Structure 1
Amino acid sequence: MPRPSTAEAEIAEELAVVRPALLPAYTGALPGARAAVLTRLWRGLTHEPLPWVAGREDTRSGVVLRLADGRRLEGPASDPYATDARVTAVRLDGTEYDDPARLMTDLAVPHGDSFAAELGHSAASLALSRAGQRDFGGPGEAAPERDWEWEQRVVDGHPFHPNCRSRPGFSVAEQLAYGPEHRPVVELGLVPVPAGECLVSGAWPDELRDGDRLLVPVHPWQAAHVLKRAGEGVAPAGGEGAARAGGEGAASVRGGVGVLAAHPLMALRTLALPDGPHVKTAVSARLTSSVRDISLGSVAASAVLSDFGQAVAERTDGLLRITRTPAAVAAGSPDLTALLRESPEAYAGPGERVVPVAALAATGLPRCPARLARLARLALTVGLRLLDLGVALEAHGQNLLVVLSPDGEPVRLVYRDLADLRVSPARLARHGIPVPDVPDRMVTDDALALRRKLFGSLVAGALAGTAGSGTALRAALEEALPDLPRTDDLSALRDGPLPAKALTLMRLSPGTAGDQWAELPNPLRFGTR
């Protein structure tokens, strides 16, 4: 039995105090959680352009990485599109490692120590997430009815990121209180700010006003750790009212400050009100890779982007709906910001379900090759049509949702969160579409950048994560692609390597701004080498 890492031991100690009944399940989940994180890390090590990997060699038993300092790192063959693989150990110069944090520490590469700490936290938090799921989806579990219930079925987080559950800065009590996989009801604080001090996009609703002040929804973690407002109507994590397990909620007032009871979604800092919109809040902590605040530029551009998204969606013949952002507010800094976003449920017809692509495993769709192929055809039809118009969606499994008919067929798509799309002035001009007034970072005519944005998120992300393996992804694409219009973008998808964010390289390159990319084997030729 390996000695627990620092993060694993710290979580065990806290758990023994705040939820001792969960401790045996947490301890039992640790080996599988380490393997899940190690699997994601091994994918990055074997497929990303890491500067200290001098060469890679496929062998009969797996893969050998030759490091720049002469050492050898050996492990099993890695399918870059697999989600059900389980790497339990790799060997560094003959020494076996089953702990991703210890492996990264002993690799002794630049910035490896900080990444190792994140990996340790990811494995420990993943074990905590899994510990509370023993009966989830079992015989006594009702089928999800609401959109947030589907989101809370995604227990393991990002299917390919080694930091799939990394939540540094969150105590055990806070993870249990705010993590969607634990299914709490979270009470958002409402902080009053004079309207004259706020940047507002769209029409801030009357129910979130108090005279000449705007009531800004604030996540309780943000209130306690960043804004230091715990005790001003926002209960600290673990306290009475911080979160409730199950049940519906609504606006209420406590201590003169309003609160909104809401259900956390996959993004943790975005929550669904029981009978209203989704609320995206600022959480100034590094979750997975990014600090989850909301930039002032995103707030300012939200109304323009919302209108632009609706306009381009109208050109998809009803195959795509984009959720509206009716209002956004920033009260002086990215630390105190919020967006109100339309619920995807608005686009479901009678008997239909709206499910994030990342949660499709719970519907059984990935087990049906025909439906998987229809999903691929639908998603690529929409994605390539918008790309030709000049809009590259970041259509990963969290942003992209699919509307399922009553019998489970994918019939159309819903897309949310427009902050990271890319627009091409030249392509838009060819179709007579004005360029929206959006931040400069979103504007490019570089075909490679546009294709990376779409293909890296949709094919290497959403569709690969749903298919679960390179073989299944290949079969779905072979079925879907012949029906699509022939364009240069489609040719690039068929003939070249598939771009994917180099998630491990990015965590080991803290001084490099923006995305970095890996080139994965083209899934259409997967297994033919």
Structure 2
Amino acid sequence: MHRPPTAEAEIAEELAVVRPGLLPRYAAKLPGARAAVLTRLWRALAYEPLPWLAGREPGAHGLTLRLADGRSLRGPHADPYATSAYVTAVRLDGERYDDPARLMTALGVPHAAGFAAELAGSAASLALSRAGADHPKEWPVGFPHAGGRAQDWEWEQRVVDGHPFHPNCRSRPGFSVADQLAYGPEHRPVVGLGTVAVPAADCLLSGDWPDELRAADDLLVPVHPWQAAHVLGRPYDAWRPARPLMSLRTLALPGGPHVKTALSARLTSSVRDISVSSVRSAAPLSDFAEDLAARTGGLLHVTRTLGAVSAHSPDLAALLRESPEVYAAPGEHVLPVAALATTSLPGSPSWLAAFARLALTVGLLLLEAGVALEAHGQNLLVILSADGTPLRLVYRDLADIRISPARLARHGITPPGLAARMVTDDPTALRRKLFGSLVAGALAGTAGSGPALAAALADVLPGLPRTPDLAALREGPLPTKALTLMRLSPGGTGDVWTTLPHPCAARFPVTG
């Protein structure tokens, strides 16, 4: 069986034209990138409710999956919290597969062809991302300017591999090699943002809009150059240089705020846009979150949305948000949780426990009050002392939190007007949002393995305030999004969930 006409070869051909010096490193990174994506895919096969799997049989030497058509797929025991690429190959009816796209093609399940193409693109783009990255993991991390303290975008750009558990961790359909090098944060580019003038009367504005983004009766909407070229199809005026952050469509202005732009491309699994409803609710939601954070006794800050504008279209909209750096005192570092894995800090069990204690204290406190944060490694940031001690948290991007009016009312809190999708009193939905993002996401990605996560939770959970939410976290399996099933269900809408064995009750393989 032949590999699909691969994104690997296509990227190599483009790279030979636009950055030939990177070709040898790209080729060298391909095997590891395939293994990284295959490991993420194996996690999904081992734990997600895929309808074409008839059974899972753990044995002395690994895990066997029984397909509904009678075939067998064999691989290692699966650690759902491991971030190392420990799955280098699996066997489908005896045939060895080390390429996730080739495996998905061979499985031949509904919608496999499209997903296989995404997996091929993810592995090839991951190899490209790794080709230009070389970040030592020491702490403190040295940066090439006075004091060695990183600017906000420098921490963001150390995160090379993307989502730690999604097989589409680096899937960027529609982006050429030149686009990835020009706009991918891991390639450390400077992006020239532009503006498009829209009559103020035709715009929805929330919060304040700065004078530099006004012209007579027009509002100037910041636009990403990729969006202008591929979606808007219209010229734009040059505005300011900026550095892309982890989300790619959000960029840091020098000495100024972060700009979240509309970028209608499929990144990981979703087409990211800025909805009209999110612009409408931006200012009141920001004020609400600021008041809520004050109830944590200084353990949490929420970045304020300074202004949001939409030309009544998700394709032409932007938000201005303050940088998390404003909450760091001299000598402190503020970095997204996803960047912690690029340092040596998580290797210390005591440090990992201290971080888990801080994150769970804040997350459970807000959940009890009525707000479930989507506290994954991109939205959640941590402020560290000079020696790396976790001090406080910063949260950004309120678009996907969940709010319980009933819980808020019990605490005398009045919520702002919100989109219906953000409001629920269902404890399962609230716990899925927080535990799926924070425990099965941010903490697991930082710990890097089931045993390390189990040790941290065993240390921390007994000392947390006892609430019904904590009891659910301690006793039940952990919720997580069924990311692969969602990609194999193109007609579905909304999140699909599954559960993972609780780290403190599971046995994990040695993953190296």
TM-score class normalised by the smaller sequence? over 0.9
1:85 is displaced (CA, Å) by 3.6
Q: 1:261-340 residue pairs with structure 2 within 5 A?
A: 261-340=241-320
Distance 1:528 1:407, change over 3 A: closer
Asked if the contact 2:373/2:402 (under 8 Å) is kept, the reply is yes
The yes-or-no answer on 1:36 pairing with 2:33 is no
Equivalents in 1 of 2:419, 2:332: separation in Å?
Answer: 36
Residue 43 of structure 1, CA deviation = 0.5
Q: Which residue of 2 aligns with 1:514?
A: 494
* Alpha-carbon distance in structure 2 between the residues aligned to 1:287 and 1:528: 31
* Structure 2 length-normalised TM: 0.96
Deviation, structure 1 residue 361: 2.1
Q: Which residue of 1 aligns with 2:130?
A: 130
Alignment of 1:13-24 (within 5 A): 13-24=13-24
Q: Which secondary structure does the structure 2 equivalent of 1:109 belong to?
A: coil
Distance in 1 between residues matched to 2:5 and 2:375, nearest whole Å: 35
Q: Does 1:349 align with 2:329?
A: yes
Alpha-carbon separation, structure 2, partners of 1:488 and 1:134: 44
**What is the Cα deviation at residue 102 of structure 1?**
0.9
* d(CA) in 2 for partners of 1:389, 1:228: 45
The aligned runs of 1:27-426 (5 Å cut-off) are: 27-134=27-134, 142=144, 145-229=150-234, 232-233=235-236, 257-426=237-406
1:469 aligned residue: 449
Contact 1:284 1:292 in 2 (8 A): yes
Deviation at 1:326, TM superposition (A): 1.2
Compared with structure 1, are the counterparts of its residues 222 and 417 closer, same or farther at alpha carbon in structure 2 (3 Å cutoff)? same
Residue 351 of structure 1: SS of its match in structure 2?
Answer: coil
- 1:522 and 1:219 map into 2 onto residues whose CA distance is 42
Say if 2:78 and 2:508, in contact at 8 Å, map to a contact too: no
Does the 8 A contact of 1:144 with 1:150 survive in 2?
Answer: no
Matched position secondary structure for 2:43: helix
Give the secondary-structure state (helix, strand or coil) at the position aligned to 2:495: coil
Q: State the shift of 1:332 in Å.
A: 2.7
Task: Map Cα deviations across residues 341-387 of structure 1 (whole Å, 9 max, x no partner).
Answer: 11000100110000110001233210111111011011000000000
Corresponding residue pairs, total = 504
Moved more, 168-177 or 131-140: 131-140
SS at match of 1:284: coil
Q: Which amino acid aligns with 2:41?
A: L
**Matched-pair contact (CA < 8 Å) for 2:194–2:238:** yes
1-structure distance, mates of 2:357, 2:149: 26
Q: Deviations over 1:450-475 (max 9, x none)?
A: 00000000000000000001100011
1:250 corresponding residue in structure 2: none
Residues of 2 paired with 1:406 and 1:24: CA distance? 38
Query: Which AA in structure 2 matches 1:334?
Result: P
User: Residues of 2 paired with 1:352 and 1:208: CA distance?
Assistant: 32
Deviates more, 1:355-364 or 1:171-180: 355-364
TM-score using structure 1 length: 0.93
Matches within 5 A, 1:1-12: 5-12=5-12
Does the 8 A contact of 1:190 with 1:260 survive in 2? no
Q: Measure the CA separation in 2 of the matches of 1:270 and 1:435.
A: 27
Q: Secondary structure at the match of 1:433?
A: coil
Shift of 1:84: 1.5
The 3 A distance-change label for structure 1 pair 279 and 479 is same
Partner Cα distance (1:204, 1:526) in 2: 51
Q: Structure 2: where are the runs of 5+ without partners?
A: none
SS of the residue aligned with 2:417?
coil
Answer yes or no: is the 8 Å Cα contact 2:4–2:102 preserved in 1. Answer: no
Per-residue displacement from partner, 1:274-313 (whole Å, max 9, x unpaired)?
1010000111010001101111111111111101110110
1:109, 1:124 → 2: CA distance?
A: 23
List runs of 5+ in structure 1 lacking aligned partners.
234-256
State the Cα distance separating 1:492 from its structure 2 match. Answer: 0.3
* 8 Å contact from structure 1 (residues 277, 343) kept in 2: yes
**Two-structure CA RMSD over aligned residues (Å):** 1.7
Query: What residue is the counterpart of 1:454 in the other structure?
Result: 434
Q: Cα gap change, 1:141/1:310 in structure 2, threshold over 3 Å: closer, same or farther?
A: closer
Distance in 2 separating the partners of 1:269 and 1:137 = 26
1:435 and 2:415 are equivalent in the alignment:
yes
Distance 1:383 1:166 in 2: 30
SS in 2 for 1:477: helix
Asked if the contact 1:190–1:216 (Cα under 8 Å) also holds between the matched residues in 2, the reply is: yes
Aligned-partner Cα distance in 1 for 2:454–2:362: 19
Query: Does the CA contact (< 8 Å) of 1:5 and 1:120 recur in 2?
Result: no
Give the superposition deviation at 1:136. Answer: 6.7
1:487 paired residue among 430, 449, 467: 467
Between the aligned residues of both structures, percent identity stands at 73
Task: Classify 1:48/1:144 alpha carbon distance in 2 versus 1 (closer, same or farther; 3 Å).
Answer: farther
Q: Which amino acid aligns with 2:445?
A: G
Deviation at 1:4, TM superposition (A): 7.5
After superposition, give the CA deviation of every residue in 1:150-191 in whole Å (9 maximum; x if it has no partner): 010000110000000000000000000000000001011111
Instruction: Find the counterpart in structure 2 of residue 249 from structure 1.
Output: none
